Amino acid sequence: MEQQSPFPIGPQASPETFTNKVWFNLLVPDEDHSFDTHVYNVNFEPAARTYWHWHPGGQILLVTSGIGFYQEKGKPARKLLPGDVVTIPPRAVHWHGAAPDSSFAHIGIGTQEHLGPIAWLEPVTDAEYGEATAQ
Amino acid sequence: MEQQSPFPIGPQASPETFTNKVWFNLLVPDEDHSFDTHVYNVNFEPAARTYWHWHPGGQILLVTSGIGFYQEKGKPARKLLPGDVVTIPPRAVHWHGAAPDSSFAHIGIGTQEHLGPIAWLEPVTDAEYGEATAQ
């Protein structure tokens, strides 16, 4: 994948929690818990997306390039463009990823990490993804 | 100021805590304390910089454009380019700003905001700034 923002792309992410190819680069690992926060750069190829998941302490997305989508369970999906900011409340079940025909990149900020790690759920099915992105 | 990254610039910041012109745009105000975190976009004209200050809960900078500097009190300044990440420990006295001949922009992440607001100190003098940026 070609670099889409000033932040380096990093290695390909585990295929166990993403559909299609995603690259994940941990920019602030916060190993000593000085900040109670993780920061990472995530790049998605077209049609790539996370599984459904939730964060005990919440998450903030800063969109840096491409076209993507964010959806909370039971709500309409929101189309995302560079400069958009998404605030994902603690424990809200959601997914995020690229549009079918565009790559996508965002900075992710994992807040209040002391509340616990991401809880991964099932994949976003092709039917769910198709309905969400048909805008 | 021309927009330097996908994130909007916002209004000019208070001249009481910055030297020269700075634009500050609060992207995540976190009014209900859901995230214990603030996120903001800061743009500096050439030679603009913060006063010396510290954050009770720490701060993370993500450099999005231009050339800038970061300095902790008593340490050499660090030159910053797009893609650089700065982790500023809680209570570390520091300043950040643009190079003398370049504009500069970063995303700022104010972490652990429940520990209290920024403590502002004195301006970075022209002598301090000149020494720090003579690299």
Question: Domain spanning B18-133 has what CATH number?
Answer: 2.60.120.10
What is the distance in angstroms between the Cα of B126 and the nearest Cα belonging to chain A? 30
List, for residues B82-98, the tens digit of each pLDDT value.
Answer: 999 999 999 999 999 99
Question: Domain spanning A25-133 has what CATH number?
Answer: 2.60.120.10
B107 touches chain A (CB under 8 A): yes
What is the distance in angstroms between the Cα of A15 and the nearest Cα belonging to chain B? 26
List, for residues B26-61, the tens digit of each pLDDT value.
Answer: 999 999 999 999 999 999 999 999 999 999 999 999
pLDDT value of residue A3: 84
Is residue A123 pLDDT above 90, yes or no?
yes
DSSP letter at B115 equals G
Global confidence as pTM = 0.97
Asked whether B134 and B100 are in contact (CB, 8 A), the reply is no
3-state secondary structure of A30: coil
Q: How does DSSP assign B6-47, residue by residue? A: SS---SBPPTTSEES-EEEEEEE--TT-SSS-EEEEEEE-TT
pLDDT value of residue B4: 81
pLDDT value of residue A4: 81
Q: Do B6 and A65 touch (CB under 8 A)?
A: yes
Give me the mean pLDDT over the A75-87 stretch: 98
Report the residue of chain B nearest A114, measured CA to CA. B112
As for the ipTM of the complex, it is 0.96
Domain boundaries defined on chain B: 18-133
For Cα atoms B83, B23, B44, give the angle at the middle one, nearest 5 degrees: 50
Least trusted range by pLDDT, from A10-14, A58-62, B112-116, B125-129: A10-14
